[in-house]
Structure 1
Amino acid sequence: MAPQDSATLIRPALGLGAWAYDRGEFVPATAPRLPLSTQGLHYGTGAFEGIRAHRSDAGVFLFRAHDHYRRLLRACRLLRITGIRHDAGELVDLTVELLRRNAHDTDAYVRPVAYKLSLLPGTPPGVSLHGVSDALSITTFGFPQSRAAGGVRCVLSGWRRPAGDSLPAQAKITGGYATTALAADEARASGYDDAILLDRSGNVAEATTANVFAVVGGTLVTPPDTGDLLPGITRDTLITLCREAGTEVRERVLRPADLFTADEVFLSSTGNGVVPVISLSGRDVGTGAVGPVTTRVRELYTEAVTSPGGARPEWLTPVSSHATPTTGKQG
């Protein structure tokens, strides 16, 4: 399918972009139809990523897109999704092309998902990673900066984060997010903004779709990536930026009591960046307001995701038309 002239593109606001990449080609986003027998739908045998594009005075830039796609490809190996014929660089190029087709000139969110599709001839129905075809789809959305600058109210969830020996913690496996949905629904039904889940040992794992940081005794602390949590790319970004700026970050076990007595708590995620937690299960965190460490970390992050002249310019991939990358394969 040939690229569209920029004058004919529909400019998305906050919704789904007009175009998608689906199974080898660019198509109208409303066109794809999956068969009712789609294996990823039945059994959760898929993996996804969330990638952000941020607008700044210098243009629109994808942030750490190569790292996101490398993680997606690792998850594909785990699930025997072998039909994805692109490397990380080619997937980034496809994403840039899709963002341009959708004329995203403000902040945007990219959702690639790789999944098991259809039973191959001779494969009987049932749960299997063999004998099933693979598919890759990418959609984009207009996605503004987080409106949670003033902080969110969280609750310790009654749902536990699945153990790593039950569900791989290092990949965003679609089936694993049923627990996330239950925890988020429980929290919001009780009047909270988000939930923090514990692991099977009763230690802090992560929020529903974010990693957890706390300022404990003047030190910035986050649970170790060897625990039952997804070690997020934003989490890694913050640890790197803080250490390079001279702020100590310790990766160690966090107990619920550590959060209740912390001076500050914040969440980190691709979708929302750095989000202060001002209360936990009805108790104020610290002073009940956004603290100085959280404010500084958010400043470091904002500069990194929007400034090509910032601390890590290699993390940015330009989308703006004045900085054209090489176009990757389309199918």
Structure 2
Amino acid sequence: MNGEYLPAERGFISVRTHAFAYGTGVFEGIRGYWNAETKQVYLFRLREHYQRLLNSCKILRMSLPYSVDELIASSVELVKRNDQHEDVYQRPVAYKSNEIIGVRLNGLTDDYILTSEPLGDYVSTGGLRCGVSSWRRIDDNAIPARAKVTGSYVNAAFAKTEALQNGFDEAIMLNHDGHVSEGSAENIFLIHNGEIITPAPSENILLGITRETVIQLAKNELGLTVHERQIDRTELYTADEILLCGTGAQIAPVIEVDHNPVGNGQVGPISQKLQNLYIDIVRGRNPKYLDWCTPVYAEVAAQR
């Protein structure tokens, strides 16, 4: 918290904090994966996450006194101090900490907190049943989706809650034009005739790091063509496969949309291949992609 390592129970903010009242914060979600064979925790694509955090800060007129390398070092150190030998989830948050009444971004103090805690699956990775939400995805000219703004996740909460109350596992959100945007907190991919389709950055999506990972793996490992374009709602009903992805969700195949089966209603072969590739990579089992994995316990890495 602002450069000091503290027990979580001492990480207090005031009830008058600007970010608490107005949602003026940005955050990241970072996963670390435990590899029992190597006795190592690998933090996945740390550099990309912290680069995106600092980009989010720019959009909210924030300035943190830390470089990307310093933020990476703090993530590694926090896992060590917690003596975590398990899958973990880290949440860095930059926020406006002034205790004032008044909605603005300029002229305020920017503070920072990083936490690290155990986490398993965020959503099922064995096949999701999704519903198209009545809630539209926020627009770039309202709250920029390319920034992970704390207050903007009320939009996701509306969609997720509606989906759960309607008996689905997850929501699929449309943008203001009625085109497919993303899940409540995941990017989306459709597979049709052996090609992969995903909404373009212009469709009010978060520029997901897992999304970019899936694109690279689809092209480089599976030899598939990837199209980034507008997607109509009815394409969800004719897709051969659909998957959601994100740091929290990982790679989660979709087997049903609006009570319509996707393909044959089972996890499809391309989704399964991507999921298997991803699992091996994040746990440090694929030497080709070890540069995406930051080992926490340096002495173990050195022994290897």
**What range is the shorter-chain TM-score in?**
over 0.9
Of the three residues 67, 77, 88, the one matched with 2:58 is 77
Of the three residues 104, 119, 132, the one matched with 2:108 is 132
One-letter code aligned to 1:77: K
Cα distance change on mapping 1:321 and 1:145 into 2, 3 Å: farther
The structure in which a higher percent of residues are helix is 2
| Unaligned residue ranges in structure 2 (runs of 5+) | none
67-76 or 138-147: bigger deviation = 138-147
The 2-side partners of 1:55 and 1:125 are apart by 44
279-288 or 306-315: bigger deviation = 306-315
The 2-side partners of 1:78 and 1:194 are apart by 28
Is 1:107 paired with 2:87? yes
Of the three residues 93, 97, 108, the one matched with 2:77 is 97
Secondary structure, counterpart of 2:154 in structure 1: helix
The 1-side partners of 2:300 and 2:59 are apart by 35
Cα distance change on mapping 1:145 and 1:186 into 2, 3 Å: closer
Q: How many residues align?
A: 299
Aligned to 2:257: 280
Secondary structure, counterpart of 2:245 in structure 1: strand
Of the three residues 242, 253, 268, the one matched with 2:230 is 253
Secondary structure, counterpart of 1:26 in structure 2: coil
Aligned residues of 2:180 and 2:231 also touching (Cα < 8 A): yes
One-letter code aligned to 2:226: V
One-letter code aligned to 1:304: I
Normalised TM-score (structure 2): 0.94
The 2-side partners of 1:221 and 1:173 are apart by 26
Aligned to 2:274: 297
Query: How many angstroms does 1:270 deviate by?
Result: 0.4
Is 1:44 paired with 2:23? yes
Query: How many angstroms does 1:217 deviate by?
Result: 2.4
Aligned to 1:65: 46
Is 1:148 paired with 2:124? yes
Aligned residues of 2:280 and 2:286 also touching (Cα < 8 A): no
Secondary structure, counterpart of 1:176 in structure 2: helix
Secondary structure, counterpart of 1:141 in structure 2: strand
Cα distance change on mapping 1:222 and 1:111 into 2, 3 Å: same
The 2-side partners of 1:210 and 1:104 are apart by 26
Aligned residues of 1:308 and 1:316 also touching (Cα < 8 A): no
Aligned to 2:295: 318
The 2-side partners of 1:303 and 1:186 are apart by 34
Cα distance change on mapping 1:146 and 1:79 into 2, 3 Å: closer
Cα distance change on mapping 1:80 and 1:48 into 2, 3 Å: same
Aligned residues of 1:116 and 1:132 also touching (Cα < 8 A): yes
Aligned residues of 1:155 and 1:196 also touching (Cα < 8 A): yes
Aligned to 1:9: none
Provide runs of 4+ in structure 1 moved above 3 Å. Answer: none
Please list, as runs of the form range in 1=range in 2, the aligned pairs for 1:116-131 lying within 5 A after superposition.
116-119=96-99, 125-131=101-107
Query: How many angstroms does 1:131 deviate by?
Result: 2.5
Secondary structure, counterpart of 1:267 in structure 2: strand
29-38 or 256-265: bigger deviation = 29-38
Cα distance change on mapping 1:190 and 1:163 into 2, 3 Å: same
Query: How many angstroms does 1:310 deviate by?
Result: 2.8
The 2-side partners of 1:241 and 1:126 are apart by 46
Aligned to 1:184: 160
Query: How many angstroms does 1:130 deviate by?
Result: 2.0
After superposition, the CA RMSD in angstroms is 1.6
Aligned residues of 2:137 and 2:174 also touching (Cα < 8 A): yes
One-letter code aligned to 2:209: I
One-letter code aligned to 1:110: Q
Secondary structure, counterpart of 2:299 in structure 1: coil
CA deviation map 1:101-126 (0-9, x unaligned): 1121111100010000015xxxx731
Normalised TM-score (structure 1): 0.87
Query: How many angstroms does 1:146 deviate by?
Result: 5.6
